[in-house]
Structure 1
Amino acid sequence: MSISLVPGVDLHVIPTTKYKTIKLYIRFAETLSKETISQRTLLSNLLETNSLNYSTQADISKKLADMYGASFGFQVSKKGDSHYLTLVLNIVNEKFLPHHENILAEAIDFIKEVLFYPNRSEAAFDLETFEREKTNLIEYIESIYDDKQSEAALKLQDLYFQDNDQQTPSFGTIKDLEKVTANSLSAYYDWMLANNAVDILVIGDVDEEELLSLVKILPFEPRTSPFSPGFYHQPARQNLLEKKEQQPVVQSKLNLGFRTGIYYHETDYFPLQVFNGLFGGFPHSKLFMNVREKESMAYYTSSSIDTFRGYLTVQTGIEGKNKERVLELIQEQLESLKHGDITDEELLQTKEMLRTHYILSLDNGSALLEKSYLMSKYPKACLSDEEWLACLNQVTVEDIKRVANQVTLEAVYFLEGSLSYEED
């Protein structure tokens, strides 16, 4: 069931007896903007920590324990030209409780409290909570950059994309975070609550009409400016961008950014899935078998695709002295796919692994909620399981060759380690 509660606020329900729990998302979506990403991440941390009537994290933890060990939190993410702030709540199905308490109604009341009654006064968030969570978030962002594999991926993103919004990580930046005050965040919270597109997604053994009556207690007002998520399209670059940095680490990181021009459930979406599996997505891929195993030129190597931005990345951990040879080998693997150098066994194995991943996702409540959300926003994604698997099965070597010839290297980021293993 999908129904509009008020303009811009939709409810999607997936009734199933498969699980003993009920999972609920409330997603706030807006156009991706560097100006608000850091605010949204800090806001998600504040709303998760306390509220007006649950003034400490211990109070929230006690309430979750009272709801038979419910789990609760917020997530931030970006997809295409959109940024999402998502409340996630998992509760036990009351049918499995001894006295059949109405946990779902209690859970909706809890959501109303944390979303609509935050810990603030006089148009500012509680200063003690604000300062603590701001400090915690700064330390968290610093820890991400301490992981050199993550840092290389983010530095490649910054190099590859031409748009400041796309260059910014989904969790924001320390520089932008330092500008946020308890007052400015409170003002942004009010704006988000009134203007973001809202989707409430529920999966579990629920009565749809009862759920509908329950969520109506959430005081969402109509959105005045309807939001529709979309893809991010970037003009092709004429020249290859390269950036090199050196740090006192042992293992060098060589990351490559490719343009695909292929988008979620648009033309060549399924051939791209198979191409990526053959290129670097799976353990039998050409990058893994030839760069890592046969040539022993990488400690790790893989590829991944972003079909909301037409973007493909290759990540490697190497010895710095091998950079040029690794670049050469990666290009050789791409060229082999451009020429259709694919055995029947490789093609079959790749399709089988994609099929297995898809079927496993059908048993994952979170994956099903994400799928439901995307199907509600992107009509071309509205395929039955049988149709999805049939589209995968129809991919040919010629299709893969066509995709491979669209894939163009546009950015190379090299984080060179200045230490040797002997020095370490």
Structure 2
Amino acid sequence: MFLTTKLAEGVNLHMRQTTQFKTVNFSIKWRSPLTTETAAERAVLSNVLQHSNGKYKKSAQFRSYLDDLFGTVLYFDASKRGNEHTVLLNVETVNDQYLAQNKVSSEVLELLNTVIFEPNFENGQFVPSIVEREKEMVIQRIQSIFDDKTRYAQTRLTQIIRPNHPASISANGTIDTVKQITPESLTKTYHSMINEDKIDIYVVGDIDVEAVQKKLIEYLPFTDRTPKPLEVNNADVKPEKEYTKEQQDMKQGKLHIGLSTPVMFGDEDFPKMQIFNGIFGGYAHSKLFMNVREKESLAYYASSSYSSHYGLVYVVSGIEPTKEKKATDVIFEQLEAMKKGEITDLELSQTKAMLINQLKEALDLARGQIDIYDQYKDLEEQFSIDLWKERWENVTKEDVQKMASQVELEAIYFLCGKEA
């Protein structure tokens, strides 16, 4: 799917030549071990780098130049996956061959060089006023979780079942760790990211692979690095208590349940676990949706998700607070039914079709191709739709029943109004 070349030790270039798109997409991912402190620093850093640089010191000036480049889109973001924190730089620009004067790609690569290697420094470090402004923006982003009760409940559940673990560390860090950031510490984080992080560079579009590779080597002169080793956190952390109830000013109840599975991303049983989650609560035809929401009318919504890098399954539902016990009982009835092998042919076939269609839809976008390849590239075999389609198609009811039998309760978290 992608042609991979090593540009330097710890720096890999992945290119895909395709006539599927009229744009060229670039994505650069800097990866570092995930901790609360590094997440906070890197989240603020991604904000600072997005809005200005050594050449365009004002955000409006920078955005105006992007508009001049035929509406080129450029943005930074911070995310996490497993035990890694990632700073992303994504750029989408028009392909030169659709323009009368085909020189935009060179200007975009020049801009990439500026954005990455020429930060907006004052006396050798980031401008204090800009750092303070972007710290405030990240703090507001973290605080917004408190206003979204579903996200808040999910955050609290992960903190309860996996305290001080990558599963419960936010990609933005915490308010306290963000407040501690200084221009000096952020400058140090920047240099560490540029010179020490593991880097993956992606390019997707109708391109001349050799020519673009030559230009990238010129404009992105990353040097050899030995990326920091990831600490694999396999500690068997168990929550202190199985049930937690908290109250706030709100009407709807948020019932979130944390379950664990020994099956992780990349394991042989991983495709089977994906099917399990789809039938359990992943889609509109799932047992949770059809029984908890539709049949029993116990929830405004009810679904499950499989966090494969942490071996966790989350059930989330919005309910009337008075229906908490009944809703909890019906949720666990669905899991028990699957453990007994009560899975219909329709549930199995619909889930397989949904997984296959989701994959195909994602690959219709350049960003989707990058994200999927980036996730699956570390597995031993070459990624392809046909391979994963075959894996899902081969999953039987017995396989799903076996997956269900390995799922265990970690904790229940219930967030509701003060009158409940």
Pairwise same-fold verdict (TM > 0.5): yes
Structure 2 equivalent of residue 202 of structure 1: 203
Q: Distance in 2 between matches of 1:19 and 1:39?
A: 35
Partner of 2:359: 358
- Tell whether the 8 Å contact from 2:243 to 2:411 is kept in structure 1 after alignment: yes
The residue number in structure 2 matching 1:271 is 272
Matches within 5 A, 1:262-341: 262-341=263-342
State the match for 2:49 in structure 1.
Answer: 47
Q: Which amino acid aligns with 1:316?
A: S
Q: 1:340–1:398: 8 Å Cα contact kept in structure 2? A: yes
1:383–1:140 CA distance, 2 compared to 1 (3 A) = closer
Q: In structure 2, what is the equivalent of residue 86 of structure 1?
A: 88
Please say if residues 242 and 411 of structure 1, whose CA atoms lie closer than 8 Å, have aligned partners that are also in contact: yes
Q: Which residue of 1 aligns with 2:390?
A: 390
Q: Flag the 1:401–1:385 CA change in 2: closer, same or farther, 3 A.
A: same
Please name the residue that 1:245 is paired with. 246
Q: CA RMSD in A?
A: 1.7
| Equivalent of 1:72 in 54, 71, 74 | 74
TM (norm. structure 2) is 0.95
Aligned to 1:413: 413
1:176-255 superposed matches below 5 A: 176-216=177-217, 217-223=219-225, 225-227=226-228, 233-235=234-236, 237=238, 241-255=242-256
State how 1:138-149 maps to structure 2 within 5 Å: 138-149=139-150
Conserved 8 A contact 1:31-1:82: yes
Q: Which consecutive unaligned segments of at least 5 residues does structure 1 have?
A: none
Q: CA deviation at 1:226?
A: 3.1
Q: Read off the aligned partner of 2:385 and give its amino acid letter.
A: D
Q: More displaced, 164-173 or 267-276? A: 164-173
- Match in the other structure for 2:9: 7
Partner of 1:342: 343
Checking the alignment, whether the CA contact within 8 Å between 1:264 and 1:307 is kept in structure 2 is yes
Describe the shift of the 1:212–1:119 C-alpha distance in structure 2 as closer, same or farther (beyond 3 A): same
Q: 1:395 is aligned with what amino acid?
A: V
SS of equivalent residue, structure 2 residue 246: strand
The yes-or-no answer on 1:259 pairing with 2:260 is: yes
SS at match of 1:412: strand
1:106: which partner in 2? 107
Aligned equivalents of 1:166, 1:159: Cα separation in 2:
11
**Structure 2: 5+ residue runs without aligned partners?**
none
Three-state SS of the structure 2 residue aligned to 1:185 is helix
- Deviations for 1:297-352, whole angstroms, at most 9, x for unmatched residues? 11111000111111110001111122122111111000000111111122111111
- Match of 1:379, SS state, is coil
Q: Is the 8 A contact 1:233 1:310 kept in 2?
A: no
Deviates more, 1:68-77 or 1:411-420: 411-420
Moved more, 366-375 or 282-291: 366-375
Secondary structure of the residue aligned to 1:233 is coil
CA distance in 1, matches of 2:113, 2:242: 48
Tell which deviates more after alignment, 33-42 or 265-274. Answer: 265-274
Structure 2 contact 338–401 (Cα < 8 Å) conserved: yes
**Size of the alignment, in residue pairs?**
417
- Higher mean alpha-carbon deviation, 116-125 vs 273-282, is at 116-125
Residues 1:163 and 1:128: Cα distance change in structure 2 (over 3 Å): closer
Cα deviation per residue 1:363-398 (whole Å; 9 max; x = unaligned)?
Answer: 121121122223332325x33221111111000000
1:236/1:189 CA distance change after superposition, 3 Å = closer
In the TM superposition, residue 407 of structure 1 has moved relative to its aligned partner by: 0.8
Preserved contact between residue 160 and residue 239 of structure 2 (Cα < 8 Å)? no
After superposition, give the CA deviation of every residue in 1:226-255 in whole Å (9 maximum; x if it has no partner): 356687534263875322210010111111
Choose the corresponding residue for 2:21, options 13, 19, 22.
19
How far is the alpha carbon of 1:122 from its aligned partner?
Answer: 2.5
TM-fit CA distance, 1:91: 0.3
Whole-Å Cα distance in 1 between the matches of residues 224 and 27 of structure 2?
19
**3-state SS, counterpart of residue 244 of structure 1:** strand
Kept in 1: contact 2:377–2:383 (CA 8 A): no
Q: Give, in whole Å, the separation in 1 of the partners of 2:111 and 2:182.
A: 27
User: Structure 2: which amino acid aligns with 1:351?
Assistant: K
Structure 1 length normalisation: TM-score? 0.94
Instruction: Say whether the 8 Å CA contact 2:161–2:239 is kept in structure 1.
Output: no
CA deviation after TM superposition for structure 1 residue 103, in Å: 1.6
Closer/same/farther in 2, CA of residues 407 and 234 from structure 1, 3 Å limit: farther
Contact 2:161 2:237 in 1 (8 A): no
Q: Write the distance in 1 (CA, Å) between the matches of 2:392 and 2:172.
A: 33
What's the offset of the Cα at 1:192?
A: 1.5
For each residue in 1:109-130, what CA deviation from the matched residue of structure 2 results, as whole angstroms up to 9, or x when unmatched?
A: 1111111111112242112211
Q: Which moved more, 1:308-317 or 1:127-136?
A: 127-136
* Secondary structure of 1:29 counterpart: strand
Contact 2:161 2:238 in 1 (8 A): no
